[in-house]
Structure 1
Amino acid sequence: MENFRKVKTSEEESPLPFPGLPADVVEMKVKEGSKIRNLMGFAMGRMGQEATRRIVFSGCGRAVTKTVTCVEIMKRKLGGLHQVTKVRYKTVREVWESRDRPQPPQGRPQPLTVHKNVPSICILLSKDPLDPQQMGYQPPDLPGGLWAEEEGDSPEERSGSTPKGVKRLASPSRPGGDEQNAKKPPLQVQELQEEDLGTVAGC
């Protein structure tokens, strides 16, 4: 395809894979060249309204990663959102034209049309509870998310490190721990006799 250039791309129109959605639901169609700042500015403005209860983010091909990023940003900023994710394939139609093929007398050469099946993702976010039994459901994140501190954990245990200069004690069940150290004979300390002390003092 190095001798052709892509002049047009279009996606097939397909209904959203979420039954029971209202006709006026907000749908954010994420494209490969979309700006996340522009997408989130509009989406946050709509979800900030009390009347807007649900929003759908959709993208296909190279826009899938950007779609997931937008969803995670909204979940972090708003919180308490229920999520349903659907993954499917979508047909994309690409139109290519020759770069250097000479023009025939009748007019422009016939363009080349290519149909591709690319992965697509649709993510529904809702302020209201959704059916937890449906495929792809994800409940709202807990306060603090993955970084929530467990009760009783010390800062060293949460970070997985100990303060500088402090050695971590080996666990008895860990190889090289107290069990092996207990098998080692105690150090034999040889006491110096009085004559030995005199010899050392006279050196």
Structure 2
Amino acid sequence: VYCDSSSYGGGIGVAAVLYLDSMEESSLTYHLGSDAEHTVYKGEVVGFTLGLHLLASVVGWIRRGAIMGSNSQAVIMALDNQHPHPAHYLLDHVHTAAENLHRKVNQLSHTPERHAALCAGKKWTACTRGATDLQVHWTPGHIGFGLNVRVDELAKDAAQGTFSDPKTLPVYLQSKPLPASILATRQCMLTDIEGLWQRRWKKSLRFPKINRINDTLPSKGYMHLV
């Protein structure tokens, strides 16, 4: 499975593509919303949940193992980071989806034992870890790697509003939009404030004279200087 997120045309889109024996089997896409409210990082995390959702639909094929590819090193490292950080609630969805996948594989691999235990009136609990060899690999993006190019194209389409039927998506994505990202909202506000600052500065009586000395004002370099 290859996952990717893209900021394109003012929107944030995410996609995941499932391959079986190097052949595309299925895909899922999701439109997060405006890039003023969401981030690509957030989309990359959602991409992992889409990928795991696709793997759960072909449990019989992945008893020996499966590989998930992503070009986001930040998200891959965040999977092992249990400290609070941006989009942590989405990482919880990733871990839950991974546990459910292991549980399904374990149930399928031990069907006779499970059936015998249930017939005997005993409780049988499936493993949520180690049932299959689930690996996460970093894949370099934008270098012409065919499998990654395909998911990037779908992510761009999703950024423009094209996405899969909600009924085919993970449950948490079916009912309502995801909450706005604090980081994206803050950056949008800073951009608006900077634009307002520039417009007011150009209307200032001091602008013509100072502009002849330094035409980069107002700039970040000037703010650091003063």
When normalised by structure 2's length, the TM-score is 0.23
Greater strand fraction, Structure 1 or Structure 2: 1
Greater helix fraction, Structure 1 or Structure 2: 2
Query: Which protein has greater RCO, CA pairs closer than 8 Å, 6+ apart?
Result: 2
